[in-house]
Amino acid sequence: MSLAFTTCGFCSAGCGMYVQVEGGRVIGVCGSANHPVSSGRLCIKGWNATPAILGPDRLKKPLVRKGDRLEPVTWEEAISFAASSIRRILDDVGPQGIGVIGSARTTNEECYSLVKFARSVIGTANIDGANRFSDFSLVPGLLATTGVPASQVDINALPRAGSMLIVGANVTEQLPHIGSRIEQAALNGCRIISVDPRVSRLNPHTHMWLHPKPGTDLLWARAMLKVILDSSSYAETAAELGGFQELKSSLGDIEVSQLKYSCWLEPEDLIRATQILADNPPVVVMFGLGVLQQVNSTELVKALADIALLLGGSVMPLRGQNNAQGASDVGLACDYLPGYAHVSDPAARKMWELLWNCKLPAEPGLSAVEMVNACGSGELKGLVVFGENVALSAPNTQVSMDALRKAEFLAVSDMYLTETASLAHVVFPACSFLEKDGTFTSIERRVQRVRKVVEPVGESKPDLEIIADLAKALGSEISREPAKILGEIAANVAWYRGLSLDKVSEPWGVQWKIPEVEPTLVLVADGAYQEKAEYPFLLIASRQVYNQHTGTVSARCPVLLREYPDTYAELNEADAERLGLRPNREIRISSEHGSILRILMLNDGVPQGCIHVPHFFGGDSPNALASYECDPISGVPVYKTCSVKVEAVK
């Protein structure tokens, strides 16, 4: 019987948890009492998902496609097959014919090694991470404003906030530990302004709930900036920030009174909300995927950051996956190098070229979204995917799956035979966070140790080993030791300076310090979602507490799956009546790009003219309705507003 301590691999709160293993099976799990985030608690996923991680259909052997079937093979065969396929493509068309997509769930060391593998071993610029499908807009958005693409606020500082502006985030379900602090803050008198088109479980704690029309957030955000500036409610220090005058003049033409028609918002409500924030410092501005996957997401991030800066407050972007922060910190992005230097920065390129012994292009390569599409067009011949169910996290599932099918060479490393893995030519069985060593960086910049608690299932290997094996087969060396790799990261990424595996293994990890950066106020462009007449409903997509991402792991736990086995969607009662739709019956929701089936439920917390579609396990995700239209700056697809129509299924 052994009780091992590690960091939870589900959401970005980064709870410390104990896992008890006996006979290779998890027989117990509990939260650490003294850990600053878990404080003795876990959420429904933390308590229940460990059996799902070690589920019976875990991939135990590498697989290679022979004919139309995936057959188990030895590691040697799988690696050599992959290496020779990559070499063939390199010979045929060169490195730009290969793409690599990494995960926001693998360790920092694995993400960094994957970047190295792509840029220096293969030599391609087409390296990107799963963040591109979710939260990447916060990087350009915050780099331009606060200068720090991460949370400026610690989780335990939240109960002391004076007021909060929470936009597009169902925090209580997505990040329960942060939701718990928000509730604590509310009980301490913090004024919480929530902006969300529908009623969520955050509502009991909110002081004011604004529910603008989906897709119009830039309009009210710019209006809020104008209100702050016109009423001189900004903090004293804000007037001295760079960009202040320019911002002020750029908002001159906004008519706050028009919000009622353009945004479904009463102007008095917006003014009152703004006043509440201004009167109750310190202000924390939080935003989740409701912003980050929205139309014009980067502009929206800038607007919200400007609001925070004007009010003298701070920003907490709510990224969900356990290592979303770490993955982007170590450069798992087509347009950034580790430490957030843009690829166009010659000094940064020179430094990394020296370290990695390779050439780095000044232009960004293809993003993860573009890579999937490029498999279909033939621009990309080979795609290597580590730990991400791209087929379901990419938009327009139909087009994405067809594109992946067309790829000449698709290699996937994953724990289970996901939808993406089942399309691959070679599948590598990967380890879960319970079976490997490394580090994760949580939402509050806390770099924490992940410990091996159980022996790898079957012949599965940590992604780090798989990357090193592939590199070796292609004639290069990549380290297999997390300590060494973290040491290299620490030596070359300013914000990770001084970190070592030993240091982060001590309680309770190490938070990297916010750098001294001058924040700037930036101009925010205008824009709103263009509705389509034949598709009269606006989609509101969300997540449930018991479901994680595409549900690969969470669906395999009987208790989590039991929570809501039927996939449903919610309409306002009046809308349902108008369309003649009855509850508990199947409906078809379609956009220009795809359609999904759901069971209808009625909920007046959903505004009229909208349909609420939660993510569930597996296929039929609302992603199928989204197009390849992306935010122009960050390249993140627009998942969170879409015109759809709703009809009964006969």
Partner 1 sequence: MRESEAAVLKKSDVSAFFGSLASDMRLIAPKEAFGGDVIFDAIESPKDIVWDYGHDIYPPKRFLLPHYEEMFRYDCRGRIHIQPAPKPSPQAIIGIRSCDISAIRFQERFFTQPIVDPYYKDRLDATVLFGLVCTKPPRRECFCICCDSGPWLESGFDVQLTDLGDRFLYEVGSDKGAKATEPRAYLLTPARSEDFAERRRLELQADSLFQTTSYIAKAITYISADEVPDEVWEELGSTCFRCGACTNLCPVCTCFTVDDVENTDGTFSRCRSWDSCQFSGFTREASGHNPRSAYGQRVQRRFYHKCSYQYIMRDGRHGCVGCGRCITACLTNLGLPDVVKRIRRAMHAYLEPETKRSEV
Beta carbon nearer to partner 1, 152 or 200: 200
DSSP-derived 3-state class of residue 451: coil
Q: Positive or negative, the Cα torsion across 345, 348, 351, 355?
A: negative
The answer to whether the CB of 182 falls within 8 A of the CB of 155 is no
3-state class percentages of the chain: helix first, strand second, coil last, to nearest 5: 35, 20, 45
Question: d(Cα 196, Cα 200) in Å, to the nearest integer?
Answer: 8
Beta carbon nearer to partner 1, 433 or 546: 546
Question: d(Cα 171, Cα 318) in Å, to the nearest integer?
Answer: 8
Question: d(Cα 196, Cα 294) in Å, to the nearest integer?
Answer: 12
Beta carbon nearer to partner 1, 35 or 132: 35
Q: How far is the CB of 209 from partner 1 (least distance, A)?
A: 14
Q: How far is the CB of 79 from partner 1 (least distance, A)?
A: 23
Q: Which two tokens stand for residue 164?
A: 């909060």
Q: Which helix (H) or strand (E) holds 169?
A: none
Q: How far is the CB of 429 from partner 1 (least distance, A)?
A: 13
Beta carbon nearer to partner 1, 421 or 557: 557
Beta carbon nearer to partner 1, 204 or 498: 204
The answer to whether the CB of 393 falls within 8 A of the CB of 112 is no
Separation of first and last alpha carbons in the chain: 55
Beta carbon nearer to partner 1, 49 or 332: 49
Beta bridge partners of 630: 637
Cis check: omega of the bond before 508, within 30 degrees of 0: yes
Q: How far is the CB of 341 from partner 1 (least distance, A)?
A: 35
Q: Where are the alpha helices (DSSP H) in 431-496?
A: 463-473, 482-492
Cis check: omega of the bond before 282, within 30 degrees of 0: yes
Q: How far is the CB of 56 from partner 1 (least distance, A)?
A: 4
Beta carbon nearer to partner 1, 182 or 301: 182
Contact residues for partner 1 (CB under 8 A)?
1, 3, 5, 16, 18, 20, 25-35, 39-44, 46-48, 51, 56-57, 60, 172, 176-177, 179-180, 183, 187, 201, 204-205, 457-458, 507-508, 545-546, 558-559, 562-566, 584
Number of other CB atoms surrounding residue 330 within 10 Å: 31
Q: Rounded to a whole number, what is the largest CA-CA distance in the chain?
A: 70
Beta carbon nearer to partner 1, 52 or 384: 52
Quick one: CA torsion of 85, 89, 94, 98, rounded to 10 degrees? -70
Beta carbon nearer to partner 1, 183 or 306: 183
Q: Which two tokens stand for residue 505?
A: 């293994």
